[in-house]
Structure 1
Amino acid sequence: MTDLSSLIACPRCDAVYSVEEPAVGERAVCARCHTVLIAPRKRAGKQIIAIALAIVVLVIAATIFPFLSIRAAGVSHKSSILDAALAFSDSPLLVVLSLTVAAVIVFFPVLRAMLVIYVLTPLVFDRPPYPGAVRAFRLSEALRPWSMAEIFAIGCAVALVKVADLAQVAFGPAFWMFAALVVLMVIQDSFMCRYSVWKSLER
């Protein structure tokens, strides 16, 4: 009977392979769809924790400072990310929509970053995982498709293109924080070798 621990399945096309761990800096790639399966990196854990801390700080700061200001006909208005997320909260029927938008662009990214810190911190220092680390990492992975900061950024870009002809638009500090946040989230996901994390948690 095949030992399941010696097998790995591609998360995209479900192709199954026998595990052959690459050296640090190398990658194991799915032969069918070219998805990266294993990509160990030297000191990746510390780098991911640093990025996760930066994400938490940037998200909190971005919700405090103005995201953008609009000026038209002598009237100006400043808006933060939370103002945009809760724009429909005045209507009782749309409160759920507003809370959902706030969750996917603010709460979920922060929660994912904190879960990653919780899971990786003891592993980086060669200590046993914290209680519930497996569930925490599983939740972090489950939230990944719902962390839509980059979708919000694209939507803002499209809206600003349309508004620019009608009013004067100025970017606030939160806009640049959010832009850096989107880049850091992409870098964090690219640095994360999920196979290595699961293997460390199983040990």
Structure 2
Amino acid sequence: MNAAAPQTEINPDEIIVCPTCDAAYHLQRPSFDERAVCERCHTALITPRRKAGMQIIALALSVLILVVAAVCFPFLSIRAAGATNSISVLETALAFRGEAYGPLAWVVLGFIVVIPFVRAVLSIYVLVPLVFERPVYRGAKEAFKWLDRLHPWSMAEIFVLGCAVALVKVADLAEIRFGAAFWMFCGLVVVVLVQDSFLCRWSVWNSLVHPRKQ
């Protein structure tokens, strides 16, 4: 892409600004499966894909299913001194009610469960009318803004990595086995990463600002 040259009047619709380094460029729309990349910091600016909207919706539905299942199924089981116990993520948070670490447990639950769930719902809310060529829903622009704002706070992958490291360290004290929920969280991490890689923020925002005439 070519850097925007100074001029008296600039059409905002023909300018794109890199979200990382603030470099401004004259807008050049790439074809499907091509990428428009910032020359300064190499951030991907436009990444259109064929049928990406339907793929993102399918992945968002997968996220909803995985989040609900991961909360309900056992996360791990511990066996020590002949006794075995298993616990889910939700049961862990409830177990800290009234304790000093209670608020922290609920904050962690929000980062690894609530925020991925909300982002999946927002994705569906924004993309369904665009994919099926319907009028955009009320508040779709604000919903898309929140979808992007919540991205740094979705920390399922950090949770999975932290649990794996912590449980390896205590493996000598007890027999520990990962439950179904742990592997669901691993799947959730992969699905969320793929979903974010398919999402072209510029394309979605352009469709929201300039919807197709019915």
Normalised-by-shorter TM-score class: over 0.9
Number of matched pairs: 202
Determine if contact 1:88/1:97 at 8 Å carries over to the other structure: no
Q: Which structure is higher in helix share? A: 1
5+ residue gaps, structure 1, are none
Cα deviation for residue 168 of structure 1 reads: 0.9
Cα deviation for residue 2 of structure 1 reads: 1.1
Cα deviation for residue 44 of structure 1 reads: 0.2
Rg larger in structure? 2
Kindly indicate whether residue 166 of structure 2 is the aligned counterpart of residue 159 of structure 1: yes
- Name the stretch that deviates more: 68-77 or 137-146: 68-77
Matches within 5 A, 1:14-93: 14-86=22-94, 88-91=96-99, 93=100
The structure-2 alpha-carbon separation of the partners of 1:164 and 1:25, relative to structure 1 and needing over 3 Å to count, comes to: same
Q: How far apart, in 1, do the equivalents of 2:146 and 2:19 lie?
A: 16
- Name the stretch that deviates more: 94-103 or 132-141: 94-103
Q: How far apart, in 2, do the equivalents of 1:198 and 1:78 lie?
A: 45
Cα deviation for residue 84 of structure 1 reads: 3.9
What amino acid maps onto 2:16 in structure 1? I
Cα deviation for residue 154 of structure 1 reads: 1.0
**Partner residue, 1:4:** 12
**Partner residue, 2:5:** none
Determine if contact 2:93/2:102 at 8 Å carries over to the other structure: no
DSSP 3-state at the match of 1:164: coil
CA RMSD of aligned residues (A): 1.3
Q: Deviations over 1:165-192 (max 9, x none)?
A: 2211111111111111000000000000
The normalised TM-score by structure 1 is 0.95
What amino acid maps onto 1:97 in structure 2? L
Cα deviation for residue 121 of structure 1 reads: 0.1
Percent of residue pairs identical: 57
Cα deviation for residue 86 of structure 1 reads: 4.9
What amino acid maps onto 1:41 in structure 2? R
Q: Deviations over 1:113-168 (max 9, x none)?
A: 00000000000011111111001111111111111111111111111110112211
Determine if contact 1:10/1:16 at 8 Å carries over to the other structure: yes
Q: How far apart, in 1, do the equivalents of 2:93 and 2:26 lie?
A: 45
Kindly indicate whether residue 108 of structure 2 is the aligned counterpart of residue 101 of structure 1: yes
The structure-2 alpha-carbon separation of the partners of 1:54 and 1:126, relative to structure 1 and needing over 3 Å to count, comes to: same
Cα deviation for residue 14 of structure 1 reads: 1.6
**Partner residue, 2:6:** none
The normalised TM-score by structure 2 is 0.90
Q: How far apart, in 2, do the equivalents of 1:201 and 1:143 lie?
A: 19
- Name the stretch that deviates more: 80-89 or 112-121: 80-89
Q: How far apart, in 2, do the equivalents of 1:83 and 1:156 lie?
A: 16
Determine if contact 1:66/1:174 at 8 Å carries over to the other structure: yes
Q: How far apart, in 1, do the equivalents of 2:142 and 2:53 lie?
A: 18
Determine if contact 1:6/1:18 at 8 Å carries over to the other structure: yes
